[in-house]
Structure 1
Amino acid sequence: MTGAPTGKTLITVAPTGAEASKEAVPNLPATLDELVATAKACEAAGAALIHVHIRDADARPTLDPGLLREAVAALRAETSLVVQLSTGGSVHDRYEDRLRVLDAGPDSCSLTMGTVNFGDEVFMNPWPFIVELYQQARDRRIVPEFELFDLGHIAALHRLLGTYGLPHGGAVHCDLVMGVPGGMPGTAAALVAAVQALPDAVTSWSATGVGRTTLPVALAALSAGGHLRVGMEDTLTFAKGRPVRDNAQLVSRAARLATIAQRPPMSPGEARSLLRMKECLV
């Protein structure tokens, strides 16, 4: 992996996801107003990038193109955050709908590098879909974030970059998604193994600890020079017996940990520079 570790920490917030229901988690941001309010609070708490899933009027996960465009426009109007749309959607979404996410024109998109068992479901990402999504993102000048759930996904990233070259802007940013039942465990040992296997072209990486692995993964990532992703998509428990109050609570804790590690949170402009986006507003 090339490039010196940054002196600051990119904090990504993933506020909603596609798994939890609004009925079970009433404080989950599901409407556009809730999403924007969450984004503003999380930016104030130290987040620089927001990873977005949206919900329909009944709070169900959707990839509706019009709602995606509205979300991107509203987040840009009300915050300075880097806006990243999920191209994963839910495990039931069709490939063509997931590709159409790019029509909303986000700054960044997620790009999962392989199929993975996702609890009781299967999150399908066959090689032809990966290549098509990668090439379309580059053509549209959208910066991908490569989601890596297992070491096999890292091998696929080697193959993708070796075959098709670098993404738009030339930065290669990865997120190690850890602790998903079916993926790599959320342990320091697994994180070290994953980081050591990353391609030399990788310029930055973050880590996501799902569920009870949130804190161990965050601490391991900071100690190894990585960045952080937190949010109610990934965990609904702040501590044993304590549900998460809101996403800003998770971002604030991540910001405190990063500051203790002497790598304070970076601004959205600094994040754009890190990711070599088309507009770098440092």
Structure 2
Amino acid sequence: MTEPCIICVAITGSVARKSDNPAVPVTISEQIESTHQAFEAGASIAHCHVRNDDETPTSDPDKFAKLADGLRKHCPGMIIQFSTGGRSGAGAARGGMLPLKPDMASLTVGSNNFPTRVYENPPDLVDWLASEMQKYGVVPEIEAFDLSHIFQAVAMAKNGQLPTPLYVQFVMGVKNAMPADRPVFDFYVETLKRLAPDANWCGAGVGRHQIELNEWCIEKGGHVRTGLEDNVRLDRDLLAPSNAALVRRAAELCEKYERPVATWRQTRDIIGLREAEGVA
């Protein structure tokens, strides 16, 4: 298999704190430095959240703007993907950073359970976020926490709300949502291929499931997400020293399956992204 494998690094998220792992980058400068290291290790997409000084999540567009400026300067060509997830805000605040025109943004097209709450994505909010992404030329990454999300994304693409080819991420291992189960994973991949044959896809495994999802995706021809947002450990006894360490681990799996790690140029071509700003 010679298809390049895209590595996305989810650098911070909204949950993990420095008390969980001191390597979790919180401030904008920490995030830029951590992403730069991950970029050099092979990551071509940075999935971005921002935090307040007390480590709580926020959707503050000013913080997203500072982060994006730093990433464009220190990681030229890297794909910047903002999160519109629900832990950082509610309603229209979740899309308040989209006018900044990142390359991509996450989009969850339906609701599901999380460990202690409902992750609410009502249809009117989903439709509005999708329209804002279209307005500003932002490519959505569909975060599928449930089978229905795959069907909904395909339906939205067919009626013109989402661009094609779709880029779909299977999120597995969240308690009360989609389990990290190999037969389920295989079924999701085959279902997406049946409904949207031209779609690109990747997988994200939460916690201890990160490394197995990385391997399943690489083996089956998809792309991968890693990083301290989803998992702060290398194994049960060892904390991950950096986002770059998790990226290198994914890159080693690419080598095992004889798949080259996608460069940022290859990633832009695979997903159909615009050219990088300020990069020749």
Into which bin does the TM-score normalised by the smaller protein fall?
over 0.9
Structure 2 residue ranges without an equivalent (≥5): none
For residue 79 of structure 1, what is the aligned residue in structure 2?
75
- Cα contact 2:6–2:44 (8 A) shared by 1: yes
Q: Secondary structure at the match of 1:263?
A: coil
Residue 30 of structure 1 aligns with which residue? 26
State the partner residue of 1:149.
145
Q: What do the CA deviations read for 1:160-184 (whole angstroms, capped 9, x no partner)?
A: 12222541xx331111100001211
Q: Which residue of 2 aligns with 1:189?
A: 183
* Pairing 1:44-193 to 2, within 5 Å after superposition: 44-80=40-76, 81-90=78-87, 93-164=89-160, 166-167=162-163, 170-193=164-187
Aligned partner of 2:121: which letter? N
Provide structure 1 residue ranges, at least 5 long, that are not aligned to the other structure: none
Which residue, 252, 256, 259 being the options, matches 1:256? Answer: 252
User: % of aligned pairs identical?
Assistant: 32
* Alpha-carbon distance, 1:89 to partner: 4.7
SS at match of 1:164: coil
Distance 1:23 1:212, change over 3 A: closer
Code of the residue aligned with 2:275 in structure 1: it is E
Counterpart pick for 2:228 among 226, 232, 243: 232
**Letter in structure 1 aligned against 2:79:** V
Per-residue CA shift, 1:108-140, capped at 9, x if unaligned? 000012111111122111111111111110121
Aligned residue number for residue 203 of structure 2: 207
In 2, distance between residues paired with 1:212 and 1:118? 17
Superposition RMSD on alpha carbons, in Å? 1.7
Give 3-state SS (helix, strand or coil) of 1:66's partner: helix
Within 1, Cα distance between the matches of 2:116 and 2:32? 31
How far apart, in 2, do the equivalents of 1:258 and 1:139 lie?
36
Residue matched to 1:241: 237
Deviation string 1:90-121 (CA, Å, 9 cap, x unpaired) is 1x621110021202221100001211111112
Partners of 2:39 and 2:223 lie apart in 1 by 16
Q: Give distance in 2, aligned partners of 1:19 and 1:270.
A: 31
Q: What SS does the aligned partner of 1:33 have? A: helix
Alignment deviations for residues 215-234 of structure 1 (CA, whole Å, 9 cap, x no partner):
22111111211100001110
Secondary structure at the counterpart of residue 203 of structure 2: strand
Letter paired with 1:83: I
Q: In 2, distance between residues paired with 1:192 and 1:22?
A: 35
Contact 1:187 1:213 in 2 (8 A): no
Contact in 2 for aligned 1:209/1:216 (Cα 8 Å): yes
Cα gap change, 1:101/1:46 in structure 2, threshold over 3 Å: closer, same or farther? Answer: same
Determine which of 9, 16, 22 is the counterpart of 1:13: 9
Local SS of the residue matching 2:18: coil
Is the CA contact (8 Å cut-off) linking 2:11 and 2:34 kept in structure 1? yes
Moved >3 Å (runs of 4+): none
Partners of 2:6 and 2:43 within 8 A in 1: yes
What letter matches 2:26 in structure 1? A
- How many angstroms does 1:202 deviate by? 4.3
SS in 1 for 2:35: helix
Q: Distance in 1 between matches of 2:165 and 2:75?
A: 23
The 2-side partners of 1:50 and 1:65 are apart by: 17
Aligned length: 275
